Structure 1
């Protein structure tokens, strides 16, 4: 009675306290063998054919298999690439639902289903066993003691401030994090890191991929790694390199400690493609289990993949079992690991149907109705590389989206480009031209100037050109369209005027990010002047290039931590910044949401908006609370000072300066309406109105 039928109802390896049920989906396989390994994963102990097949699921129950057991699958079926089938039972395959992996992928030609070097390429067939170099799935006990008082923060969208960070890169350079915790899950919740996040006013840490991933063979041969992790092998298992002792429990312990500090955990997830690449890629999991079901294949020749991602292949979420896997994965991370939300890499690919992006796709519909995910934050990177892939503003109201229109406009504006005040006005007030439809609110836009992909903030004002030579691609990789300005010197300089200007421009970008309606996202290290030496594509740099440098912490020229904290407090102090009501102009009764003003404090006309090469923008945000303070904001991107007048609003007797990026020691000036003031060159200043 050791082996029985088990159930197809729960995919993966499920331990019930007495034994383990194994269940694997494949619509086109003819037979599935479960392979059990010794504790080191070196020796295959036995192969057991799963005895039952129901609803395209092979399944069986073993009553003497317990947590810690290493296993994999060998899947039999036709090897017919031109028909979309790539079964090869000589290849040990990872369970798509594996919750923990043992061992690392050791590259060799044996991982390919075809004979590498053959003139027939992937139409040939390889009979080598790859088991020795494959990571193995591990049966796990999912139980975990969260403690009776563990509670998720549930930060309202309007109060949310994201901090994008890499698990390893965030703490490797922090000397106040214990050496044994640096670069690990647990390091994220070290007291020094939590103190820093609280000092910044961060509410939600957004982690680059922690799903188990693979270092590309090409990178390994170049002695590099896939540092960022956008090369997923398993959508359920936490990446072991950040918590080798017990990555699942290490991750959950970290989540619990961050929650105790009131900080949410958001995961950057990559469901759009896998580590298996194009038709010449390895056979590690999905390709060998059911290639024709998991991937988008070309309709006229199923040998090739329809690639919307630029990574060789694309997962096909129109297939119900592939959609189920993604949904099961999301629910697992919420229910078992207590994460608070997800940022979806190349989200447009997930919502594709036969005719391209579909706002009512199976994926978006499944998310919309799922009760487990109802309170999770859903954030789209709203594009992919396929036709019609750019879909900023097109997602349902449950979603928020990375707003690259904000990034582009603000980079160009503070780099010195003129005639952008109309564009900047929209970006600072929630991008209503993009998101004000179908009941969507300002929180729909995630505003950012920098993210992991591209220059960090310090490099944005230090380099005119990318310097990606360390990536081994002759500086051909990475975007050449950075909207940066080095102000006369490429890279570091000792020129005090340039140093001061660069610092002020960093403050300007940070000030705008926090003053803008929408949800701000801060890139880890931007607050301390972190640099990548001009590398704008550090995806393979697991070293000082890719890690956050904390050398600027405490440095008068580089450390803007307290300034960022001040800006976070301003968002709380002036609720009109975080209002979820779209702004309008002057009403018949004299009330308003926003007033756009000329330097002479007159309301702007069409002629003023078209001012040639304009670089000055000023406006008043009315308080959305009775008796509150309006906020007058001035953005001067001109290289010279510009005189202006403070607005005359009869219900307010004075204006008090609350921000000036050109003055580190802000003098609290209280001035009457109509007073003449100078906006310093390239500065952001703000005044709060005092009720009469």
Structure 2
């Protein structure tokens, strides 16, 4: 074998960097006494060299090996104190992944040797396991991530134009009958998938985690896997399971293809914790390199702060850990060309060492001053399980936030719960109670009815209870309160009346979503009528439960969803940045928002307080303060009838030379747009209508 020699190299950049002649290795550790580079044969089976990194600048260990090229397999070993009571868990016998690795050869193979401690010993995590873990570990791969991007340009859609489509790479593509390389980035980039996404009209696809992640041991032992991916193993590497040919260029190709189709790529990222779990978890990377720096530890540093429910919490208050996160985000934007991020359990990212969540925490300050990251979309999941963990509306601009209150409020209204009219009104107008402050726009609210976590839209109208038995946890996992309704039969129904009632409610709910101020998000498969058989926590279901059912798609429902999305695109009134507050407009002195009763009278305080009220009529115009150039349409009138009886609804008076055109009627989804004659409109029970005020000569 070649007798490699190592020279000092550089402390920057971190990771393994090929310069055309060799590779520079740099890795962070405050408390290590020695960091050793391990090189492997191309098949990964044999460790050929152990070379101590010769230099340390501050807390970065580094060295340069001439002659190494992309494709070289490597890992690290770190020597230091094994003193769990002091927060240190160094174990030189454990092969460690580079936190900055850009590609991994695979996933860990579960074995007790992956643990830094002796499994089964008394007070096990205080013991030390001396078996070599290398045979059970994947290898990091030296990569040159250069890619021929050609004329690739980010679509750079404004947030007000955005319609987000949350999808799983494999779940979306695996069962599509015409997709080559299903279950992979290449499958998602294929013509059949792009044609569907373009037909649907979405502007951005938000992918469940694609950064390399771990299959939890308890799942593997039950014959299951981590399907969703919220257990990150490497923050720079695409997960190998989505690489059809093992090349990171496959991800870049997917992004370029989606961009060419006018679709942005948003990544769901998990920087709140890692896959190493608590003190009883494996030693794979961060724990073995510097446990005390990478993780937030309890007052007794043997244990971990667990604000995430996964066993550990990343220590973003340490500057080098924060740097890793920021370097990772920039890498995915600059090198992989993604267009934004959705931050899992983002309340964790805003916690200071003392004092809890703060909108001016280090992570937010770092993001907001970064010239790369301030030009992409940033979306927060605004909660975790830590103290004060629910922070909806508390994130600083330019963050958007997932709005679970929107989901629950709209589900409850269409389910027929009492007292939901005021809630519906708030959600239709952008959830101002949460977001109308600090200069935040109405688009800050990411409105959704369904997401990966919970029922699909079809299951929301087909099941009153969750059915998670396939997860092997006795149906104890997943949310128990879903605000769902089986409409007479639990699960699939053959009764035509029930099937039609379910289809109508799905149309009503999606019409409400796409006619609401804010930023709408759809769950992949909802447009097809996809079901997960009542499983509302399919995190471990890499099988037909978790995959989109293309063969059972409802083409009529898909066409209706396409119409709704097109209407939102074509009507700026539905997607305004400014909040509507019934204020007069400078351009004409008219208000920008009116709430009407079906008889044409304005809503009164007594009406708003009526618990049995099931219908609301709203007239929206361009918001007060909007520049004149943006005022391209006059008014929209919408009726949301959640009651059991049809209504004759009085239309707002149309000025001379103007008339109302009906665009959508969920009772008659195939109904063509048409002029409404007379001063009223018939609205069926359990339906939505949307009308536009137009000039007669148009």
TM-score (norm 1): 0.97
Superposed CA deviations along residues 554-576 of structure 1, whole A, max 9, x for unmatched, are x36xx422111111111122211
Which residue in the other structure is 1:152 paired with? 154
From the superposition, tell whether residues 106 and 58 of structure 1 become closer, same or farther in structure 2 (CA, over 3 Å).
same
Alignment partners' CA distance in 1, 2:552 and 2:591: 43
Which residue in the other structure is 1:168 paired with? 170
Alignment partners' CA distance in 1, 2:679 and 2:606: 22
Q: Following TM superposition, by how much is the alpha carbon of 1:334 offset from its aligned partner in structure 2, in angstroms?
A: 0.3
State whether residues 592 and 621 of structure 2, in contact with CA within 8 Å, keep that contact through their aligned partners in structure 1: yes
Q: Following TM superposition, by how much is the alpha carbon of 1:627 offset from its aligned partner in structure 2, in angstroms?
A: 6.6
- Greater Cα offset, 568-577 or 354-363: 568-577
State whether residues 446 and 520 of structure 1, in contact with CA within 8 Å, keep that contact through their aligned partners in structure 2: yes
The match for 1:648 among 649, 653, 661 is 653
From the superposition, tell whether residues 58 and 639 of structure 1 become closer, same or farther in structure 2 (CA, over 3 Å).
same
- Greater Cα offset, 492-501 or 239-248: 239-248
From the superposition, tell whether residues 470 and 79 of structure 1 become closer, same or farther in structure 2 (CA, over 3 Å).
same
Residue aligned with 1:302, SS: coil
State whether residues 653 and 673 of structure 1, in contact with CA within 8 Å, keep that contact through their aligned partners in structure 2: no
Which residue in the other structure is 2:644 paired with? 639
Q: Does 1:580 align with 2:577?
A: yes
State whether residues 212 and 238 of structure 2, in contact with CA within 8 Å, keep that contact through their aligned partners in structure 1: yes
Alignment partners' CA distance in 2, 1:662 and 1:618: 16
Q: Does 1:326 align with 2:325?
A: yes
Alignment partners' CA distance in 2, 1:563 and 1:664: 7
Q: CA RMSD in A?
A: 1.4
Q: Following TM superposition, by how much is the alpha carbon of 1:324 offset from its aligned partner in structure 2, in angstroms?
A: 0.2
Q: Following TM superposition, by how much is the alpha carbon of 1:289 offset from its aligned partner in structure 2, in angstroms?
A: 0.5
Alignment partners' CA distance in 2, 1:570 and 1:604: 27
Which residue in the other structure is 2:139 paired with? 136
Which residue in the other structure is 1:691 paired with? 695
Superposed CA deviations along residues 567-589 of structure 1, whole A, max 9, x for unmatched, are 11111222111111211215397
State whether residues 239 and 247 of structure 1, in contact with CA within 8 Å, keep that contact through their aligned partners in structure 2: no
Q: Following TM superposition, by how much is the alpha carbon of 1:531 offset from its aligned partner in structure 2, in angstroms?
A: 0.3
How is 1:29-48 mapped onto 2 (pairs within 5 angstroms)? 29-48=32-51
Which residue in the other structure is 1:117 paired with? 120
Superposed CA deviations along residues 234-253 of structure 1, whole A, max 9, x for unmatched, are 00000111114134110000
From the superposition, tell whether residues 652 and 228 of structure 1 become closer, same or farther in structure 2 (CA, over 3 Å).
farther
State whether residues 652 and 689 of structure 1, in contact with CA within 8 Å, keep that contact through their aligned partners in structure 2: no
State whether residues 649 and 673 of structure 1, in contact with CA within 8 Å, keep that contact through their aligned partners in structure 2: no
Q: Does 1:500 align with 2:500?
A: yes
Q: Following TM superposition, by how much is the alpha carbon of 1:341 offset from its aligned partner in structure 2, in angstroms?
A: 0.3
From the superposition, tell whether residues 184 and 655 of structure 1 become closer, same or farther in structure 2 (CA, over 3 Å).
same
TM-score (norm 2): 0.96
Alignment partners' CA distance in 1, 2:13 and 2:425: 51
Alignment partners' CA distance in 2, 1:651 and 1:92: 79
Alignment partners' CA distance in 2, 1:283 and 1:626: 59
Which residue in the other structure is 2:627 paired with? none
Residue aligned with 1:527, SS: helix
Alignment partners' CA distance in 2, 1:170 and 1:341: 20
Q: Following TM superposition, by how much is the alpha carbon of 1:64 offset from its aligned partner in structure 2, in angstroms?
A: 1.9
Q: Following TM superposition, by how much is the alpha carbon of 1:623 offset from its aligned partner in structure 2, in angstroms?
A: 4.3
The match for 1:568 among 523, 548, 565 is 565
Q: Following TM superposition, by how much is the alpha carbon of 1:552 offset from its aligned partner in structure 2, in angstroms?
A: 3.1
Stretches of structure 1 lacking an aligned partner (at least 5 in a row): none
Alignment partners' CA distance in 1, 2:230 and 2:60: 29
Residue aligned with 1:688, SS: strand
Which residue in the other structure is 2:528 paired with? 528
Q: Following TM superposition, by how much is the alpha carbon of 1:17 offset from its aligned partner in structure 2, in angstroms?
A: 0.5
The match for 2:682 among 665, 678, 683 is 678
Which residue in the other structure is 1:414 paired with? 414
Residue aligned with 1:443, SS: helix
Residue aligned with 2:248, SS: helix
Alignment partners' CA distance in 2, 1:653 and 1:68: 68
Alignment partners' CA distance in 2, 1:428 and 1:374: 28
Stretches of structure 2 lacking an aligned partner (at least 5 in a row): 624-629
Which residue in the other structure is 1:396 paired with? 396
How is 1:232-311 mapped onto 2 (pairs within 5 angstroms)? 232-299=232-299, 301-311=300-310
Alignment partners' CA distance in 2, 1:150 and 1:42: 39
Residue aligned with 1:268, SS: strand
Q: Does 1:106 align with 2:105?
A: no
State whether residues 598 and 617 of structure 1, in contact with CA within 8 Å, keep that contact through their aligned partners in structure 2: yes
Residue aligned with 2:303, SS: strand
Q: Following TM superposition, by how much is the alpha carbon of 1:612 offset from its aligned partner in structure 2, in angstroms?
A: 2.8
How is 1:224-239 mapped onto 2 (pairs within 5 angstroms)? 224-239=224-239
Which residue in the other structure is 2:626 paired with? none
Q: Following TM superposition, by how much is the alpha carbon of 1:611 offset from its aligned partner in structure 2, in angstroms?
A: 1.7
State whether residues 199 and 562 of structure 1, in contact with CA within 8 Å, keep that contact through their aligned partners in structure 2: no
